Structure 1
Amino acid sequence: MSDPILTLDNIYTDIAQYHILQGVNFTVPRGQVTMLLGRNGVGKTTTLKTIMGQWRAKSGAILFEGRDINTLPTATRARAGIGFVPEDMGIFGDLTVEENMILGCTSGPLDAVRKDWLLAAFPALATFWKSEAGNLSGGQKQMLSIARALAEDRQLYLIDEPTKGLAPAIVSTMAQALRELKEQGASILLVEQNFSVARALGDSAVVMDDGAVVWSGAMAELAGNKDLQEQLMGLSMEAH
């Protein structure tokens, strides 16, 4: 297995009076796609937000490139090389697609080669480059949200359900872009409910339940074991 770019060591996160994460432990191997799976409400999104610093872990360590970042502000974590695509997209509707992309670049102008790759991966963004992002369809907004996070080369990408609610054609476009990102050597932690996408992209998988990790291993092992899928998640990937 590749050396880990990210390690969560016994992470506990509370939100108000609720104990959401209860001793989360897993690693994200460098240069691979790690799928974070599980039923709704088990703590997957909270895990991503805790890594990013939007929720502060009560205890435990978050090691990014060997450094504990648990006490660092969100902006510092982003500057260290972590990109985040939230489930709610978080784009600026009154700004153009181009302006949204510019905001994704914290260290300088959008690199021309990077821009060409992103517009080839998401052709709709080229069509609406000068249009206000608020006028885009839901699928196009999701493309913009992901493209903005990819505007700069990051060491680690945290992506929360990028294909949720999208038409099959847009899911295919999204999956291909993530596949190309993986081929470029990116490390990705991906929450995804579309198991065909998870099976196609994932190198490894982490399954959560009730705020803790209940299984981790090779994605191929999980994808090939129907009984294990039903035991861990109450359903079979073959149904998705």
Structure 2
Amino acid sequence: MSDSLTLEGVHADIAQYHILQGVNLSVPEGSVTVLLGRNGVGKTTTLRTVMGLWQAHRGRILLGGEDITRLPTPRIARAGVGFVPEDMGIFSDLTVAENLTLAAVSGPIDSARLDWLLDAFPPLRTFWGMAAGNLSGGQKQMLSVGRAVIEERRLYLIDEPSKGLAPAIVTTLARALKQLKAQGASILLVEQNFSLARALGDHAVVMDDGRTIWAGPMATLAADAALQERLMGLSMEAHG
């Protein structure tokens, strides 16, 4: 199996802070890799650096073997990377329909893909003509995910999609992401909800202090509470 995404010794700074200090990871094609670690270790910065929003000053980022380290964000998006940022990144003054239309960078939205998305997230159908700023927090998150997946892409970067959401919304979100996974999607997911991470993840990568410190099957990490405690200072069972 080839890798959809590979990071090789990636370093990145934000202002005077050296945030990423040697990130190595891979996302095999057609699988979900979950990026784990305590708050502030660099998980969100890793996703933003892959997306070109922060610039790596050392190391390489490969998309399907192609070096994208120095590419600007629009070119990375057009190369087939969808991004769900932690702050959702929707256009509040535009309607649901307009948000999704703008996100379809390759042209008109595929009708079958749209039907799947609206079936997965029924509120987007209900509020199709409503300004996105008037949606609830959970509905905004559905729209944020919808913008990233409205087209079939080579890779999806998803940053803490369940953060702050009610359990019923998390269930809807989890079902949609499982469907996306079943379609053969390649996903790099940052997620603090360990029950969701376990349910979706094929592989796990753990970060600490700007570095990757462990990588392996999600099942291995999920089954070993002592390993979880050693790597992250917490147990998945206690935070599931």
Residue 54 of structure 2 aligns to a residue whose secondary structure is coil
1:67 maps to which residue? 66
Residue 100 (1) aligns with residue 122 (2): no
Q: CA RMSD in A?
A: 0.6
Q: CA separation in 1, counterparts of 2:28 and 2:176?
A: 20
Distance 1:143 1:5 in 2: 25
Partners in 1 of 2:180 and 2:94 — Cα distance?
26
Tell me what 2:187 maps to. Answer: 188
Offset at 1:108?
A: 1.0
| DSSP 3-state at the match of 2:24 | strand
The equivalences for 1:11-90 within 5 A come to 11-90=10-89
User: Alignment partner of 1:58: what SS?
Assistant: strand
Question: Which amino acid is the alignment partner of residue 33 of structure 2?
Answer: T
Structure 1 residue 239 displacement after superposition: 1.0
Identity %: 69
Aligned to 1:206: 205
Q: What amino acid maps onto 1:20 in structure 2?
A: I
- Structure 1 counterpart SS, 2:56: coil
CA distance in 1, matches of 2:233, 2:193: 15
**Distance in 2 between residues matched to 1:92 and 1:6, nearest whole Å:** 28
- Aligned partner of residue 105 in structure 2, secondary structure: coil
Q: Distance in 2 between matches of 1:124 and 1:194?
A: 23
SS of match in other structure, 2:23:
strand
Per the TM alignment, residue 175 of structure 1 is displaced from its structure 2 partner at its CA by: 0.6
Q: What is the match of residue 171 of structure 1? A: 170
Q: State the 1:126 CA deviation.
A: 0.6
2:115 aligned with 1:116, yes or no?
Answer: yes
1:141-192 residue CA offsets vs partner (Å, 9 max, x unmatched) = 0000000111111010000000000000100100110100000000000000
In the alignment, which residue of structure 1 is the partner of 2:226? 227
Q: TM-score scaled to structure 2, two decimals?
A: 0.99
Is 1:130 aligned to 2:129, yes or no? yes
Deviation at 1:5? 1.1
Q: What are the Cα deviations for residues 105-164 of structure 1, in whole angstroms up to 9, with x where unaligned?
A: 111111110010000000011110011111000010000000011111101000000000
Superposed structure 1 runs of 4+ greater than 4 Å apart: none
Where 2:75 maps in the other structure, the secondary structure is: helix
Secondary structure of 1:107 counterpart: coil
Shift of 1:26: 1.0
Aligned residues: 239
Q: Which amino acid aligns with 1:123?
A: P
Q: Provide the rounded CA distance (Å) in 1 between the counterparts of 2:145 and 2:219.
A: 25
What amino acid is aligned across from residue 121 of structure 1 in structure 2? A
In structure 2, how many angstroms separate the alpha carbons of the residues matched to 1:232 and 1:4?
25
In structure 2, distance between residues paired with 1:175 and 1:58: 35
* TM-score, normalised via structure 1 length: 0.99
CA shift for structure 1 position 10: 0.5
Q: Which consecutive residues of structure 1, in runs of 5 or more, have no partner in the other structure?
A: none
Cα offsets for 1:6-25 (capped at 9, x unmatched) = 11001010111111000111
One-letter amino acid matched to 1:10: G
